[in-house]
Amino acid sequence: MIDLERDGDVFVLRMQGGENRFDVGLLAALDGALHTVEASEGAAALVTTGSGKFYSTGLDLEALADGGAARGREVLARMHALFARLLAFPTATVAALNGHAFAGGAMLALAHDFRVMRRDRGYFCLPEVDLATGRPLTPGMYALIDARLERATFHEALVTGRRYPAPEAVTRGIVHEAVPEDAVLPRAIEMARALAGKDRATLGALKRGLFGSALQALTSVSS
């Protein structure tokens, strides 16, 4: 489901479940991997990536519907906790977008400090307006996206469900760099390694101060 390996000071977390849809199993595995990184000693940074043509397409809506209300609440709570943990993570984090980042997968990418995207294939998309599920974004999701995207881009992405290719995602401030396929992970690792020596306690405190409102929304019961 996931693989976590260490490349010098950089931990590389690979999601290996196809579209990497969020269910209880994947969310628990991701949380466990983050715990491993946090428990490590010395300089460290984190890079996450997917496999094939997908980074992540977000919630597994079929599993969510089949699991009943209690399972749905558990999945959403775990997802919010993951976003909050990444947003305030005490090391630098870089999302290496090897392919499509949709819905919750796009939000996962936004929870990282930096994003590197494959130039020639893959989209960043918030498609909820086209899903017709009757499930709007939660306050925590709104707060996360609002903390990362300019308001005009946020508005356009939500009301149109537009799919942003990498070059446009760069110009709109959604991702930081667009590079060829074979450079996505190496560039993300390079960016992460340059920041691996930052003091963890200070970095975590700075992020909590910077994203206090979003963190409160993500961790509140009302999310």
Residues labelled as active-site residues: 128
Closest CA to 106 of 209, 11, 20, 183: 20
H/E run at residue 95: strand 92-97
Roughly how many angstroms between the first and final C-alpha of the chain, as a whole number? 27
Dihedral in degrees, nearest 10, Cα atoms 174, 177, 178, 181: -120
Cα dist from 161 to 102, 128, 168, whole Å: 10, 7, 15
User: How does strand 92-97 pair with strand 114-118?
Assistant: parallel
* Burial grade of 68 (CB within 10 A; 0-12, 13-18, 19 or more): exposed
18 residue type, one letter: G
Q: How far apart are CA 144 and CA 52, in angstroms?
A: 27
Closest CA to 169 of 216, 114, 219: 114
**Cβ of 85: how many Cβ atoms within 10 Å?**
19
